[in-house]
Chains A and B, each alone.
Chain A
Amino acid sequence: MIHFENVGKRYAEGGEALSGINLQLDAGEMAFLTGHSGAGKSTMLKLIGLIERASYGQVIINGKNFSKLGRRHIPYVRRDIGIIFQNHQLLNDRTVFDNVALPLVIAGQPHRDIQRRVHASLDKVGLLDKERMLPSSLSGGEQQRVGIARAVVNKPPLLVADEPTGNLDPALSAEIMNLFAEFNQVGVTVLIASHDIDLISRMGKRVLVLDKGRLIDGAGEQGEVRQ
């Protein structure tokens, strides 16, 4: 599902955010990406979400080689990746329902399906009773769950989350992580960037460790062979 081959990312301001990353994450797997601030977690997720492009190497997600992907195709690729952002990226002038429905509207789904699937998605994250509210009137944890509902509403095969529990208390964090585990159980590939080591270790999943732009642990068979 996620395949990195000798991937590096340099920024114009100087400094290499990622260097020589080799990674193989199979479909249906769940993994955590951890490391200190500035180790390159966000950069790696941005490469997966096509928000940025690798300076060198191959990023292949869901069978698509991103280095060969034209600008025109980016939106369609993004629809297959559910991304959950640390700052939620919700539209505050629209209701929870409209926020969650957005990916379906963008994909041009029929109105009936939109209603049903948004409700199912909100039900899953436990916010069905708040569909008419504006995101700004919800708590941080609830907003994060709206973001999750939006990411899964069009059933992408891959979920990527950037510090989804960043600002939440331990109980809420565990709840959110369990939610991701549930998605993983039905076959969704999940990659979560987090520095909450305690929580990660309790989940008992594969852990990828980044340090100064290098993957120092958990790279998977292929990566280990290379190293």
Chain B
Amino acid sequence: MARQATRRSPRRSATRVTLTGAALQRGTSTVRRSRGKGWLRGYFKGHFQALFLSLGRVSRNPLSSLMTIAVIGIALALPTGLHVVLKNVQGVSAGWEDAVQISLFLKQGIEVVEARRIVEKISAMTSIEAVVHVTPQQALGEFRQYSGFADALEVLDENPLPNVLLVRPTKEASEPLLVEPLLHELRNLPSVEMAQLDMEWLKRLYAIIAIGERGVLVLAVLLALAVLLIVGNTIRLAIQNRRDEIEVQKLIGATDAFIQRPFLYSGLWQGVLGAVMAWLLVTLSLWLLHGPVQQLSLLYNSNFSLGSLESVGVLVVLVAGGLLGLLGAWLAVGRHLRDIEPT
């Protein structure tokens, strides 16, 4: 090689090659091997091109792309929808959450004044956060207002309702182990007719919700795997369909990164569009449920209304969809692109 160089300085003449045409003369030097300063710009430009090239491919096969996107959408919509349902159930019960409350029904015939003294006594206990005194008068008023038996109550000579003390223990005393002895203590007070702690069912409800959450998580993981496989398989087929093209590109000096970029981006597109589809499906389902739920909550005299997917949730679904699509494509590309070499 050294000898060759001294003889004719080949590198010089070779790199100065200009194809005879006048037009080519104009487009001479500078552009060969742009791996210097413009490298980063070229890098982003390459990605930009691939981003739109892949979107073009997705849109050129609308039917098959739509099918893939729909499958991904349904797979993502299931855990998302269940998540929204759970969130709503939690929303309904959220008001009760820290309300471990003991209702003390005082004995019949205890005067309001005496009841006040008992309130003070109980309030002084260290494990008690607050005590609300509901006098028979107040209780009757509430009953009249909400029960719809106002007319019937007019018939009564005297107020049959007892003094009720709503006792709220402190946070520490609300622990199941501590609340039981407290309940026992209060129940044994001489003026107390009945003490009621009816939070058991709430605990059970929370336990059920916790199971539901875990279930949704497991389902989400399984369906995420499904999305990976769907995207991976779609990309694998796309690679096989473009086998010739990939060979030609390799022959004229395309790097693996260049060849795989459009495939990675089409995985990304499929994932993101699938996530959009999932969001639409969930929104549509909630919209369909909205009317009946409204009716039910009216029957319960509640102003509860079905909450939709919050914006953070939408973002999470979109990002998750995109990442899953990208990962699925990456796995497929890693496995299948290397096998294709020109022969």
Contact = CB atoms under 8 A, between A and B. Distances in A.
Interface of A: 1, 3, 24, 26-28, 49, 51, 60, 62-63, 75-79, 83, 85, 89-91, 93, 102-103, 105-110, 113, 116-117, 119-121, 123-124, 150, 152, 154-158, 182-183, 185-189
Given A51-B343, A60-B1, A121 B249 contact: no
Contact of B17 (A75, A123, A188): A188
B67 interface: no
Contacts, number: 130
A148 B317 CA distance: 49
17 contacts: A1-B10, A24-B4, A26-B8, A26-B10, A75-B255, A78-B250, A79-B253, A91-B245, A106-B249, A106-B254, A113-B31, A120-B27, A124-B21, A156-B17, A157-B17, A186-B19, A187-B13
Nearest to A105: B49
Contact of A186 (B20, B26, B34, B42): B20
B45 interface: yes
Contact of A152 (B19, B31, B42): B19
Contacts of B156: none
B258 interface: yes
Contacts of A49: 251
Contacts of B91: none
A29 to B, nearest CB: 9
A3 B3 CA distance: 12
A155 B32 contact: yes
Interface in B94-119: none
Interface string B236-250: 000000001101111
A26 B13 CA distance: 11
Contacts of A155: 17-19, 32
Contact of A108 (B4, B46, B251): B46
Contacts of B312: none
Interface in B215-250: 244-245, 247-250
A8 B247 CA distance: 25
Contact of B32 (A110, A154, A188): A154
B239 to A, nearest CB: 15
Contact of B19 (A76, A85, A121): A121
Contacts of A83: 251-252
Given A79-B253, A123-B21, A157 B245 contact: no
B8 A28 contact: yes
Interface in B173-225: none
Nearest to B252: A103
Most buried by A among B17, B19, B46, B253: B253
Given A49-B251, A109-B31, A1 B24 contact: no
Nearest to A157: B14
Contacts of B43: 108
Contacts of A27: 4, 8, 10-11, 13-14
A154 B20 CA distance: 14
Contacts of B343: 51
A102 B24 CA distance: 17
A109 B254 contact: no
A158 B10 CA distance: 11
Contact of A124 (B19, B256, B342): B19
Given A1-B14, A75-B258, A186-B19, 12 more contacts: A3-B1, A28-B14, A75-B254, A75-B256, A78-B253, A83-B251, A117-B31, A120-B23, A121-B24, A124-B20, A157-B17, A183-B19
B1 to A, nearest CB: 6
A51 B251 contact: yes
Contacts of B37: none
Interface string B247-271: 1111111111010000000000000
Contacts of B341: 51
Contacts of B13: 27-28, 187
Given A28-B10, A124-B21, A116 B27 contact: yes
